[in-house]
Amino acid sequence: MAIDTPLALLMNGSNRIFWGYLIVSAVIAIIWYVFKVGAISAPTLKAYWFNADSKLDYRYFVFNWVFKALFIVPVLLSANTVALWILNWLNSISEPLFLSWYYRDIIVAYTLSLFVLGDFSRYWLHRWLHTNRWLWKFHQVHHSAESLNPLTFYRLHPVEIMLFALRNALVAGVVTGIFVFCFGARLNLYSVLGGNAFVVILFSFTGNLRHSHIRLSYGRWLERLLISPAQHQVHHQQKNIHKNLGSVLALWDWVFGTLRLSKDVPLDQKFGLGRGKREKFDGIVKIIIQPFFDIYRSIRRN
Amino acid sequence: MKIFTPLSAICLLSVPLVSHAQLSNAQEKDPYASIYDHVIQHNADNAVQYCTDLQTSLDSKSSDVRHRAFVQLAEGWGRVQASYILGDYDMNAMDYPLMVDYFHSGNEDIHESIERLVARDSKPSTALYKNSYKTMGAIDSVMFSGEWSERRKEFAEVMVANVCKRFTQISDGYKANRDAFLFDVDRGLSLVVNAEIEHIYKTRDWRIAQVSGLTKANLGETKPEHQQYPYSEASWAFIGGVLETNKQLLGEDQQPNVATIAYEKHGKEGIHAVQVALASSLEAYKNTPVDHNFNLNDMIPIFQGLLDVQKAFYRHLVSQIGVSANLIDADGD
């Protein structure tokens, strides 16, 4: 399982903070801010980019990368391994199918399957992080931020990183194993800028605005299908913290009853876990240790 | 006007870059053209020639000459089928392999039907009305399952003419679709590799395991009569043809080929495992006793070799598809 360097993350379109996506997000943000708020001033920018939360996000972003490179990537299950398990298992119970679909149709089906099943599994893992009392202790790290910037995306406890990586390995591996079994070598991925075409087209250009104060809504109709930056900001508000759990598609929230349209929520920009909670996670060591300490205390109490 | 200078400089600097990109692109296409011309087209043309030789051999009094010609064609057919991709470029060509060989298709006992027809006195062209009666299996039956006679020769002439017509269509079809293959080389390569995997699997399972008793269903039950061409015993030559095509496509000494492209795109590791497995399969093939008659123990090395090729192919495929989890992309929200 490969891992990019922090700088390479900016260069590869399969990453959230690819420079192209950041520039598009910045342009949208500037236009939105000028029209909705007014002129952008240097003190405002400084207050946003250099507040305590932002600085913690920058530090933790580097720590996060080092931790992954040293401790997670070498030991974690990869999608390739899962794909080969699935393939060998299917081959042991049946003849390979070698279905004669059109090449183009196979690629569309494969790309779409990875996108839809990937997004569906992200929704459910995210939901589990919110509903399971033990996992919530770890996911609180991400919700402790009271100021959101694109790098807040990386403010995740290592346990959560591992869970998401395992989810990705299982989903991508199972889908790939099944597709190779059905179609052999006639398999490819439609990609744009190096990322899954569906993710890039539907998500990536506004993805960095999710963790920001730019309350960009998609409107009532589209917000039932796609999660807008405003909806994800609603999710980061304490009052709606268990709503809008989707990643790209809002469809899952709509179907499973966790949808909250951005228009239905007052423009209360208070992010985080509530008064006095931020201090529990205001340093790298605290981010790592605090969830375990909370779990220990819960066990002791019970 | 100030903008003109940097803009001009950028334009000028980009000219050699564009030329270089085109040049490297052209170089990259070489292995694709080589695969098409030196393997796919070459093998199809050879099959046409071998078929013509078989037609000529039908006039020979020597059973050896006739037998050699059929074995040669079986081997040539194996080479063609191992990388058959024409059906993906021409809908009409999807069924050509079935028109050439009915092995593992349908439940009819072709040998029994042919023998019944030979025993009658109807015209061969009328009697052989079914496509399946004019395929390689039918030729094997009519030429080698009984005493050679004028009647069998007449039947064989109709059958071989049909097979030759199909091989000519395949050869011409490849000539007509060369540009389409080279227009989308990624698609072309995936079709070639898919054909390789499919026929490695079918060779291992249909032509070896099911005959020698190496499947779960028939473990230990060797049935040489289930081989592809039981009367001429040319099945072994067909298997050799499949292996030879894979050697042409993957062999280190046969480059530029699929291996060349794999090295460029994904490095040596994945494809090297496929090459090693293929080499051991070829070795096992060569070392199999001449009088093996698909004995279970004699077949184990080549069966295992082909299984290793298939697994190595899958490992290489899965890794090159690029599904390996990018952890950053896999993070939460």
What is the rounded average pLDDT of the residues A70-86?
Answer: 84
CA–CA dist B266, A301 (Å, integer): 54
Greater model confidence, A5 or A56: A56
A71: Cβ contacts below 8 Å, ≥ 6 apart: A158
Q: What percent of chain B has pLDDT over 90?
A: 79
Taking CB atoms and an 8 Å cutoff, what residues of chain B touch A130? none
CB contact under 8 A, B330 and A168: yes
> Residue B103 pLDDT > 90, yes or no?
yes
CA–CA dist A90, A113 (Å, integer): 18
- Tell whether A3 lies on the interface with B, counting CB pairs under 8 A: yes
Angle value at C-alpha A215, between A211 and A219, nearest 5 degrees:
120
User: Residue with structure tokens 């959560």?
Assistant: A160
- What is the rounded end-to-end Cα distance, in angstroms, of chain B? 48
Q: What is the pTM of this model?
A: 0.83
- Tell whether A95 lies on the interface with B, counting CB pairs under 8 A: yes
- Find the closest chain B residue to A104 by CA distance: B187
CA–CA dist B31, B27 (Å, integer): 8
CA–CA dist A80, A61 (Å, integer): 27
B85: Cβ contacts below 8 Å, ≥ 6 apart: B40, B181, B188, B191, B192, B195
- Find the closest chain B residue to A195 by CA distance: B329
Q: Which of A43-57, A72-86, B177-191, B240-254 has the lowest mean pLDDT?
A: A72-86
**Stated length of chain A:** 302
Number of DSSP helices (H) and strands (E) in chain B, helices first? 15, 0
Q: Which of A97, A99, A110, A180 has the highest number of chain B CBs within 10 A, making it the mutation to test binding with B? A: A180
Q: State the pLDDT confidence band at B84, using cuts at 50, 70 and 90.
A: very high
Taking CB atoms and an 8 Å cutoff, what residues of chain A touch B198? 96, 98, 184
> Residue B9 pLDDT > 80, yes or no?
no
CA of B320 to nearest chain A CA: how many angstroms apart? 9
- Tens-digit pLDDT profile for residues B276-314: 999 999 999 999 999 999 999 999 999 999 999 999 998
CB contact under 8 A, A165 and B330: yes
- Tell whether A80 lies on the interface with B, counting CB pairs under 8 A: yes
Q: Which amino acid is at A208?
A: N
CB contact under 8 A, B193 and A185: yes
CA of B187 to nearest chain A CA: how many angstroms apart? 7
Residues B229/B140, Cβ–Cβ less than 8 Å: yes
- Of A154, A163, A180, nearest to B318 by CB-CB distance is A180
CB contact under 8 A, A114 and B328: no
The dihedrals phi and psi of A178, each to the nearest 5 degrees, come to -65, -45
CA–CA dist B321, B306 (Å, integer): 22
